[in-house]
Each structure stands twice: as structure tokens, then as C-alpha cells.
Amino acid sequence: MATDGPGGSLNAEASTARDAATMVLQRAAQMVGAFLFAALVPRMMGPEEYGRYSLVTSLSVWFALFSGLGFTHAMSRYLPQFVLRGEARQARRFVGGLLTLRLASSGAAAGAYLLLAALCLSDLELPLLLILAGAVLIQSLANFYFGLLLGLGRVARWGLADVVRRWLSLALLLPGFYLGGLRGAGLALLVTELAVLLLGIAWSRWRVTRADLRPALGFLAPYLRFGITFLGSHALFTMLHGSGELMVRLSSGEYAEVSYFGLAHSVYLAAGTAMPQFALAFAPLLSARLDEGRTEGLREIVEHLLKWLTLAAMLAVFGALLLADTLVPVVFGATYRAVAPNLIPLMVALLMLTLSSVTNLLALVFDRPGVALTASGLRLATFWGLGPFLVRWWGSLGGCVAMLAAAALHAGYSTLRMRDLVGSPLKSWGRVVGLGLPFSALLWLRSSWVTNAVLYGAFLAGYGCALLFFGVVTWGELRVALRAMFRGPALERAPGAVRPGWPEPL
């Protein structure tokens, strides 16, 4: 197999742009699903039961992601090299060995989850914990196959995993809880993960032999070192977002406070997980260009990526400032009114996350995993260092403030360490944020829900005009983005279709 040459590379870049636009639509669908989940599930369960559900499921996601061993990052960085060089045998050894190791790590993660949950959450029934341990095992394997899709450059299909999870789990969770309580809800999650796994296996169509499944540790060692370093970073990220409910429970002693934090945190994570995923979608393209020595234009790609992520975060920040008090009681119910102030620090944390997402992408592409690992460690230490004190003072709001402080420190440290690569894009981030700050004056005019809605509309109109007037966003960029989003969906048209700029499937 041979590469398609420079023309193929250009096609691959155009395909990546279409994939990125498709992911925007996917994230929008996921946001709608998250909105419906937040509007229906907490109201149906009530604060106490939803607090229990939020706690056990956040821990299950933590263990499933921790079992990944950084394989998604390793495949997104190195599998494009094998594919573009036509090294089919090496690619099969690489993927087959990683699959065997993932099977072992998935089983270990499921067992560790069951043990920890049984020891620390003795008030929950064992059948529920067994069901969720099974979900940990299956979700870990599903993540592997969708990570394989990312390494093969099938970014649009990789991005569908969370969309399918969100909508299918919502469809199954409501009847599951109605018929079987928390045990039925857990069973709904188990069935959802099984469906996602089967979909990933069917879409990847990866052929390996029994010999490929024997992990050659000598061959895999350099890739494992790279992946495990990013595993540390990813594990610390997962520990941060998977342990928030546990920290609030231990510090406050109330499941209601857990539910207030967990609900606000789930809204934050709907965007907070999409941003790193969106940035990671560019890893195969940037890695391929770097390996080919085509480094021109990399900074511009990163700058545009950071600009659009920051713009989305600014819309979320002002949405929380102007609309949260009005929408939260309507969407979640009056009993969850305390969630509204929690959203404000978490949406500001999204601004910090835009920087973190881009610096992590650069650390991956330029082989600087130590930066990502240290920054993630500082973020987790900050959250757990400040969180217990802030929760005792302010309840669930204190946990959200601690999350903001942790995100700010992570963004500051990683940007400082990667300043040689992120200098110009950082200026773009500052311009997008700076043009939005004057509109904070609208907060003094907040009143009824009609007034608040009008104020948010005024912000959107004024902010958009400011971005265009000062040239931060151009009409040409908007036309290109809309054309890619609505005219060029990047999903493969047929099972055997070959993506532009990529060789035949291995």
C-alpha cells in the first residue's frame, strides 16, 4: 500500500475538516440528549435516588476509562504511521497486542470497581454493583474499538460513540428505572454499552490472526511507554471528574448535595468531554503532517481550533449568567434550584478547558506526554485540596468552585510549558474572551425570564458583530464552516469505502 502523495494529504485534510464539522453536529445531538436526560431523569428519581445513581455511574465511568491504558492516544498517534507507510503486518501486531492487553485491563478494572463500591458504598445492593461492574468491562472494550476508528482516520464514526450512548441509554433508562428502580437503570446502562461495543466491532472491520493477539512486549514497549504516560494524564482527568460526587458525599454527608453537584457537573461534562474529543479528532492529521515533515500551517490549524472552542465556551458562560436562574427550575424542577449557581463557575471552567484541550493535543502530537501528566496531577491535587473545605462552607457550589480553580491551574501550567507552540493561538484566545467581557454589564439588567432571554439575544447579536468588526471571525470562515457542516458529512458511504487521502483498509 502506498500513500496518495501530496494530493492525498490535501484530501485527508479536507476530510478531517468535514469530520470536524460532522462532530459539531454530533455534539449538538449529544447536547440535546443531555438536556433531555437532565430534564427527565433527576425529576423522575428525586434528589436522593439520583444522588446514588450519579455516584455509582460516575465511578463506573472512571474505572472504564482508567482501564484504557492510553491506547486511544497511542493509536491516534502511531497507527496513521503504519497505515500511511503500508506496514500492514506491523499494524496488525500493534492493534492485536493492544487488544489483548485491553481485555486484561478491562477485567481488572471491573473487579476493582466491584471491590471498591462494595467496601465504600455498603448501603447499595450488590446486584446493582455487579451489573455496573459488567458495564465497566464492556464499556472499556467498546472504547478500544472506537479508539481504533480514530487511529484509522474514521473520525466521524469515532465521534458517534457518545451520541449513541447518550440517546440509547436515555431510551432504556426511563423504563428501566420505572420497572426495576436503580437495578433496572443499571441494567439499561449494561445493555447500552453492549450495543456500542457491537457497533464498534462492526464498523472497525479489523482483521487480526491468533498470532497477532499474542502481545510482543518488546515490539509494543515504546508505544506502551507513550500510551501509559498519557494514561496517567487521562486517568488523573478521569479521577477528577469521576470522584467529584464522592468528594461532595464525603465532605457534606448529604446525597442531595451530591445530586446538585452531579447534575451541574453532568451539564458541564456534556461540553467538557466534547472539547477534548473535538481537539483529539485533529491528532491523526497533525501527526501525519508532522511525520511527513509538512509543518507549515500547523500553527494556523491550532489557532483556528482554539478560537472556535473558545467562542463556544463564551456562549455557554453568558448562557449560565443570564439564563440559568430561569431555566434550571423549569428544566430540572423546583427542587433542583440550587443547581443554577453551580453552573456559573463550571461554565467559566470551560474557558480554561479550551486551552487545556489544545495544549494536550500539542503534547500528544509533539511527543511531550510529561507536560500533560504533570498538569493533570496539579489539577487533581487542586480539586481535592480545596474541594473538601469549600464544600463544607458552600455545599455543592464549593465543589464547583474547586473545579474551576483546578481547571484554571491546569490551563495556566500547560500553556506555560507549551508556550513555544501555543503563543500565537493564545493571542486568539485572548481576543475572543476580551471582546465578550464588556457584555458583562448586561447582568445588571437581569429581571424576568422574558427580559433575560432578550438580554441573551442582545449579547449574541452584539458579540457576533464585535467578532466580525475586529476581524476575529470573518465571513469567509463562517461560509467555510457552514459548507463543511451541511454539505460534506464525512461518514463513509459504504462498508468498503476508502476515505480520501488514506490507503486501502488493512
| Exposure b/e, 339-369, CB count within 10 A at least 16 = b | bbbbbbbbbbbbbbbbbbbbbbbbbbbbebb
Three-state secondary-structure class, residue 281: coil
Q: What would the mean pLDDT of 390-410 be, rounded to a whole number?
A: 92
pLDDT in tens, 227-239: 666 666 666 776 7
Q: What would the mean pLDDT of 429-446 be, rounded to a whole number?
A: 92
Determine contact, residues 332/36, Cβ cutoff 8 Å.
Answer: no
pLDDT of residue 480: 63
The half-sphere exposure of 212 on its side-chain side, counting CA atoms within 13 A, is: 15
The band of 54, judged by pLDDT with boundaries at 50, 70 and 90, is confident
Secondary structure (DSSP) of 163-202: HHHHHHHHHHHHHHHHHHHHHHHHHHHHHHHHHHHHHHHH
Q: What would the mean pLDDT of 336-362 be, rounded to a whole number?
A: 90
493 or 466, higher pLDDT: 466
pLDDT of residue 91: 79
How far is 423 from 299, CA to CA, in rounded Å? 9
12 or 62, higher pLDDT: 62
pLDDT of residue 482: 62
pLDDT of residue 490: 40
Q: What would the mean pLDDT of 428-449 be, rounded to a whole number?
A: 90
Q: What would the mean pLDDT of 421-425 be, rounded to a whole number?
A: 70
- Report residue 64 as a C-alpha cell: 472504564
How far is 291 from 331, CA to CA, in rounded Å? 49
Among 403, 303, 317, 393, CA closest to 355: 303
Determine contact, residues 53/185, Cβ cutoff 8 Å.
Answer: yes
Q: What is the largest CA-CA distance in the chain?
A: 68
DSSP 497: P
DSSP 474: -
Mean pLDDT score of the chain: 79
456 or 256, higher pLDDT: 456
pLDDT in tens, 287-321: 777 766 666 667 777 888 888 899 999 999 999 99
443 or 423, higher pLDDT: 443
pLDDT of residue 492: 41
Lowest-pLDDT choice from 209-223, 342-356, 387-401, 483-497: 483-497
The band of 217, judged by pLDDT with boundaries at 50, 70 and 90, is low
Whether residue 460 has pLDDT greater than 90? yes
pLDDT in tens, 25-41: 777 787 788 778 877 88
CA end-to-end span of the chain: 9
Q: What would the mean pLDDT of 198-205 be, rounded to a whole number?
A: 87
How far is 124 from 110, CA to CA, in rounded Å? 17
Lowest-pLDDT choice from 178-192, 241-255, 285-299: 285-299
pLDDT of residue 433: 93
| Exposure b/e, 371-389, CB count within 10 A at least 16 = b | bbbbbbebbbebbbebbbe
